[in-house]
Structure 1
Amino acid sequence: MAPMCSSYCLVLLMLLLSGNLISLGDSSPMCKQTYPANAKPIYKEDVDLLQFALNLEHLEADFFLWGALGYGLDTVAPQLVMGGPPPIGAKKANLDYLTRSIITEFGYEEVGHLRIIKSTVGGIPRPLMDLSATNFAKIFDEAFGYALVPPFDPYRDSLSYMLASYVIPYMGLVGYVGANPLLNGYQTKRLLAGLLGVESGQDAVIRMYLYERAEEVVHPYKHTVAEFTTRISELRNRLAMCGIKDEGIIVPPELGAENRTTTNVLSSNFDSISYKRTPGEILRVVYGSGDEHVPGGFYPKGANGKIARDFLEKP
């Protein structure tokens, strides 16, 4: 019995030690980040920028959760809705196992994003959002310049859903890049950096998924996956009205990395850093109106938060 007890005790000791190490975590002095004595965790000016981002985080959360699971925030985390209305037209997509697994993870990640932003700078109610197939069909019709027949349906199959996903997360990415230099608090900077890392990862996964299928014709249309991404990116550039800040998965060499590639798995500028957009640019795109003062598109009654509401009140 002695050898068995010795082995058992050794394992128990190792578990206890590992548990202690884990429990130390950030509470350990050698794991804590130090800041200048006069540094502030959150500046008043930071709050509006991060609350503005909640509009896109809500859009992603409900789109991903509904697409993968068939239900959204009202079921998964109703406390984060803060009384906002349920999205219009959201439903479960016909996804294969791989795509559903990816989108399920994305959906739960967005729940975490909403929770950490709202617990850090306070929240805004979920805005009314239009996630209907009809709304997506309008976006793709506008991108191609004519009505697709049959109308584009993001919930039809995995490829259609990922093309629809191409429309949304990238706007959060460029929005965070644009907000970054305007933040002052160390807590809000840390928050934005963490959010940007995951949003960038989501966009990269979506782009790689589509890049692997770049030459595949999207059924029942005659356009390839690459054409779809190019058309959507061109539409967003037109609506935002601030030059090229959006690129499809295949580009001419003058837009490729160091002007030497036509592959474009990641969208970036001449120096291969992410593009940035202002709140006004983002609203022009997600409203589909090309005007931050005129709601529509994904937000029929406009986005929430001080920045978005100020645009609506001061046309």
Structure 2
Amino acid sequence: MSEDRKLPNRRQFLSAAGLMGAGAVLASCSPAMSAAPAKTNYDASIGNFALNLEYLEAAFYLAAVGRIGEIKAIGGSAEIILPAGFDGTKAISFESDAVRQYAEEIAQDELNHVVALRALLTSKGATPVDRPVLDIGPAFAAAANATAYNAKVITAPAKLTPDFNPYLNDLFFLHGAFIFEDVGVTAYHGAARLVVDDSAGGILDSAAGILAVEAYHAAEVRTLLYAQKDKPTGYGLTVEQLINAISALRAALGNGKDQGITLNGKANILPTDGSSIAFGRTPREVGNIVFGAKDAPKGLFFPNGLSGDFSALLAL
């Protein structure tokens, strides 16, 4: 081989030197570039926070289809408060067989979520929290009154008459379901960024699967309500007006992350931001809604608070 082939020419030398220089710069920067701060592991707390919400949803739907005993058999003996004269052992008198079947399907889904989350937490070495005291009776009446105050339909200390009862008929059942379903979707979305365990079948994987199911539920409920949007509720508001008033109250408690079943005069089955991405709520924002007041530690659907210590999560 000739000397010309053995020795690099000037251009080759400068190119190599440039690459070496760039490599040296990258090498010197790599520790700083790769040293992302360690993520605080809230996985068990997030799982148990979600479990509290699933206890609530399961109790509501199982009571509606007369199966309240199935959730009472899981997670301890804490009281489940129901409306006077209704004990959840007999299904409400659904006028529509389709709505009855939707209710039964969702009830089973929510019960399955409770069982699945408890098993997942146990498999990860965490202890599932017991079922807290749940109010799925007077709390609905209180939420309806707060909605009416917010919509200026009534003024304090007046209240809606008769008390709002989600177990009275199909339409009110769907209103009760609306209160919960969007909150569940936004809660799972908001917690996703905090989860460390992204393994197959882990906390994030399972939560993403549950989020998808909750989103299906929410869209189903919103569609059924939109189809009856012009129907009077008996409280001086149409379905559209009452549902949008519920949404406005949730928005006031949850930093504006909400939309009703109509938006700008058109159907709004999928509540999203400007990029068509579902809203995500922090645990604190979720707490504001289910407790019925900003920064409250308990109240409304959880009269004694959540089961477990979530002070760190609620502070995020």
TM-score scaled by length of structure 2: 0.75
Q: 1:68 to 1:226 in 2, by over 3 A?
A: same
CA drift of 1:164 comes to 1.1
Q: Which residue of 2 aligns with 1:98?
A: 98
Q: Which residue of structure 2 aligns with residue 156 of structure 1? A: 168
Gaps of 5+ in 1: 1-42, 254-261
1:45-66 deviation line (CA, Å, top 9, x unaligned): 3111111011110011010011
Structure-2 residue corresponding to 1:124 = 129
Classify the secondary structure of the residue corresponding to 1:55.
Answer: helix
Q: Quote the Cα distance in structure 1 between the aligned partners of 2:72 and 2:240.
A: 37
**2:70 partner amino acid:** V
Alignment partners' CA distance in 1, 2:187 and 2:296:
14
CA deviations 1:252-279 (Å, max 9, x no partner) are 27xxxxxxxx220111111111001011
Q: Structure 1 residue 93: deviation in Å?
A: 2.6
Query: Per-residue displacement from partner, 1:139-195 (whole Å, max 9, x unpaired)?
Result: 111111122222222111100110111111211110000011111212112101110
- How much has 1:310 moved relative to structure 2? 7.7
**Residue 229 of structure 2: aligned partner:** 214
Match of 2:75 among 82, 89, 105: 82
Q: Partner amino acid for 1:76? A: E
**Residue 84 to residue 282, structure 1, CA distance change in 2 (3 Å):** farther
The one-letter code matched in structure 1 to 2:299 is G
Larger radius of gyration: 2
* Structure 2 letter corresponding to 1:157: N
C-alpha distance in 2 between matches for 1:98 and 1:86: 31
Alpha-carbon separation, structure 1, partners of 2:293 and 2:193: 27
Equivalent residue for 2:143, pick from 139, 145, 158: 139
**CA offsets per residue over residues 195-215 of structure 1, 9 Å max, x none?**
011010000100001011111
Contact 2:58 2:71 in 1 (8 A): no
Q: CA RMSD in A?
A: 2.0
Other-structure match for 1:256:
none
The whole-number CA distance in structure 2 between the counterparts of 1:44 and 1:280 is: 18
Q: Tell me, yes or no, if the aligned pair for 2:244 and 2:260 is still in contact at 8 Å.
A: yes
Which residue of 1 is the match for residue 25 of structure 2?
A: none
Matched, 1:175 2:172: no
Q: Hey, which bits of structure 1, 4+ residues long, moved more than 4 A?
A: 308-311
Q: C-alpha displacement at 1:105, in angstroms?
A: 0.8
Amino acid at match of 1:188: I
Matched residue SS, 1:306 = coil
Which residue of the partner structure matches residue 235 of structure 1? 249
Deviation at 1:309, TM superposition (A): 8.7
- Residues 54, 117 of structure 1: 8 Å contact kept: yes
Q: Point out the more displaced range, 85-94 or 155-164.
A: 85-94
Aligned length: 253
Give the distance between the partners of 2:282 and 2:270, measured in 1 at CA: 20
Task: Supply the distance in 2 between the matched residues of 1:77 and 1:222 (Cα, whole angstroms).
Answer: 35
- In the TM superposition, residue 308 of structure 1 has moved relative to its aligned partner by 5.4
Length-normalised TM-score, structure 1: 0.76
| Distance apart, 1:94 and its partner CA | 2.6
- Correspondence list, 1:7-26, <5 A: none
> Residues 159, 229 of structure 1: CA spacing in aligned structure 2 closer, same or farther, 3 A cutoff?
same
Equivalent position to 2:50, from 53, 59, 64: 53
